Amino acid sequence: MTDWLKNSVFYQIYPQSFFDSNSDGIGDLHGITVKLDYIKDLGCDAIWINPIYDSPFMDAGYDVRDYCKIAPRYGTMDDLMHLLDEAHKRGMKILLDLVPGHTSDTNEWFKQARSGFPTEFDDRYIFTKSVWDAPPEYRLMCGVCQRDGNYLVNYFSSQPALNYGFYEVTHPEWQYSSDSPEAWATVGALKDIMRFWLDKGIDGFRVDMADSLVKNDDEKIATAKIWRDVRMMMDRDYPDAVLISEWSNPQRAIVNAGFHADFYLDHQGNGYNALFRNKQGSDNLSFFADGAHGDIEAFLAEYLPQYHFSKDSGYISFMTNNHDMPRATFYMSEWMIRLSHAFMMTMPGVPFVYYGDEIGMRYRTDLISVEGGFSRTGSRTPMQWNHEKNMGFSDADEDMLYLPLDYSEGSPTVEDQQGVGGSIFENLKSLIALRKANPELMNESGFEVVYARAKEYPFVYRRGSFTAFINPSDDDKTIDYDTNGAKEYYFLGGYEINENSVTIRSRSFLLIRHENA
């Protein structure tokens, strides 16, 4: 296990929306370099950047045209090398976004594979035997290329799936086994791409749709085998580099597949959803929600088994948000967001802060789709730095901006919150500092549930000598608790510590430490 990862707090950057340094309306790599000290000041010591590869941007860069070329709108390879140098000087790490499951349909591999002429890339993608062969159980593009066959896509029609084979071969006339030379040639190409960037000093990858490689692989057995092979290569040749998966199944991703960490994603009905995003119509049934009708057991029933399965092999990554879902402000009040941050920064794992969440940026519901964003577009608007032109994001004319800014009343900015006590920014900064100052709150102690009741509050858990009390409800809560030797260490809201009980006020967080532990 790489030592640096266990103590890291990441900052996720959607590059086209972070900071525009050359006044073309789109954020860029030099813009990230300019803001490194800002990210460092917040307390984050690692950065994940969404795709910066050459792309036609039908899906915001998740349709890669050239894996080894920087998209011109973000700058040059020299700009990336300068960013890496400056980050490393500050003791910061940089992760790129790896897109292993598909490419753009403008990728040179695919242009040759679809041509109808024999090429070395004929088996890099998944084509049926003929254009008349279109099994309905597969997502196929039919009759759109010269080659006599239809091709599988992973998501949008412009994203042909790469061929990692099929775990269960149901159409042997055109499906390759996941153990075939053709499938493992694709794995070889993937590792070549990874080596290209790792040799340049990149510190690892967040892996998009990491579980999507092998088809007809419901238990992800063959997919895990591929990632184990990749991990062996990294451990041998790049032992300090890390792999973080978009999978949301730590047992499969970390234990079986060998990822260093796995994102805890918002999936309907899962534990993350129960904590933060369980909005059903006008009712918010999340544990962290005003009105507090949530159920902590709905989270623990999923989280605890996965934590115990994976804790000796890697980390579960809580995230404040990401580029694929509505921002937290769509679900929670600003105060509730503070409580959620207190929870995330005192839990095991490797936390991620999505750009703008440190100031409570809002989710825009009034935008048309840009670059395949659709409902996600409203979480990808430009960073709001100050009250100058374009809120400090860019000096370009407003109609040139990647997305419109949020000028609604009370729209937050860094300028309004940085250095202001009680702001979301300063509160999160203090929590990250708290985590960094106490290894027990990172990953050098376990996790023990002290008090949790179905559809009740508070939730109490222990991390080494620390015990955390969280009460998002509207009512004060008192529980029996032996406080011998315990002292308040950090709090939001109010509390009362007695000899044999703790009262945690409504909408409050309390962290105590047992001095004699």
Question: What is the DSSP annotation of 282-332?
Answer: TEE--SSSTT----HHHHHHHHHHHHHHHTTT-EEE-BS--TTS--GGGTS
Is the separation of the CB atoms in 315 and 260 below 8 Å?
yes
Q: What's the pLDDT tens digit per position in 153-187?
A: 999 999 999 999 999 999 999 999 999 999 999 99
Q: What's the pLDDT tens digit per position in 28-41?
A: 999 999 999 999 99
Q: Which domains does the chain have, with CATH numbers?
A: 5-101+183-439 (3.20.20.80), 102-161 (3.90.400.10), 446-514 (2.60.40.1180)
Give the chain's mean pLDDT: 97
The sign one gets for the Cα dihedral 374, 378, 380, 382 is positive
Alpha-carbon distance of 242 to 234, in angstroms, equals 8
The sign one gets for the Cα dihedral 135, 140, 144, 146 is negative
Is the separation of the CB atoms in 131 and 148 below 8 Å?
yes
**Cα distance from N-terminal residue to C-terminal residue, the chain:** 28
Residue in 429, 403, 338 with CA at minimum distance from that of residue 18: 403
Three-state DSSP state, 346: coil
Chain mean position to CA 74: 21
Indicate whether 1 pLDDT > 90.
no
The answer to whether the pTM exceeds 0.95 is: yes
Alpha-carbon distance of 243 to 238, in angstroms, equals 11
Indicate the pLDDT class of residue 485, thresholds 50, 70 and 90.
confident
Residue in 115, 158, 125, 157 with CA at minimum distance from that of residue 139: 157
Chain mean position to CA 419: 27
Alpha-carbon distance of 42 to 90, in angstroms, equals 13
Q: What is the pLDDT of residue 517?
A: 58
* Residues in the chain, total: 517
Q: What's the pLDDT tens digit per position in 209-227?
A: 999 999 999 999 999 999 9
Task: Please give the helix or strand (H or E) that residue 430 lies within, else none.
Answer: helix 424-437
Packing angle, helices 424-437 and 334-344, rounded to 10: 10
Side-chain half-sphere CA neighbours of 329 within 13 A: 18
Task: Please give the helix or strand (H or E) that residue 86 lies within, else none.
Answer: helix 77-89
Q: What is the pLDDT of residue 368?
A: 97
Residue in 401, 285, 415 with CA at minimum distance from that of residue 358: 415
Cα–Cα separations (whole angstroms), residue 87 to 32, 40, 59, 98, 436? 10, 9, 28, 20, 19
Three-state DSSP state, 84: helix
Q: 94 is written with which tokens?
A: 């940089």
Indicate whether 292 pLDDT > 80.
no
Q: 28 is written with which tokens?
A: 């860029």
Q: What's the pLDDT tens digit per position in 312-330?
A: 999 999 999 999 999 999 9
Q: Which amino acid is at 414?
A: V
Q: Is 350 exposed, middle or buried (0-12, 13-18, 19+ CB in 10 A)?
A: buried
Cα–Cα separations (whole angstroms), residue 173 to 33, 169, 170, 223? 51, 9, 9, 22
Three-state DSSP state, 512: strand
Q: What's the pLDDT tens digit per position in 369-417?
A: 999 999 999 999 999 999 999 999 999 999 999 999 999 999 999 999 9
Q: What is the pLDDT of residue 281?
A: 87
Side-chain half-sphere CA neighbours of 119 within 13 A: 15
Is the separation of the CB atoms in 476 and 505 below 8 Å?
yes
Question: What is the DSSP annotation of 26-46?
Answer: S--HHHHHHTHHHHHHHT--E
Three-state DSSP state, 54: strand
Q: What is the pLDDT of residue 319?
A: 98
Contacts of 499 (CB under 8 A, 6+ apart): 483, 484
3-state DSSP of 98-145: ECCCECCCCCHHHHHHCCCCCCCCCCCECECCCCCCCCCCCCEECCCC
* Mean per-residue pLDDT, 242-266: 98
Q: What is the pLDDT of residue 245?
A: 98
Alpha-carbon distance of 321 to 420, in angstroms, equals 23
Q: Which amino acid is at 257?
A: A
Cα–Cα separations (whole angstroms), residue 160 to 23, 43, 114, 192? 34, 39, 10, 20
Q: What is the pLDDT of residue 384?
A: 98
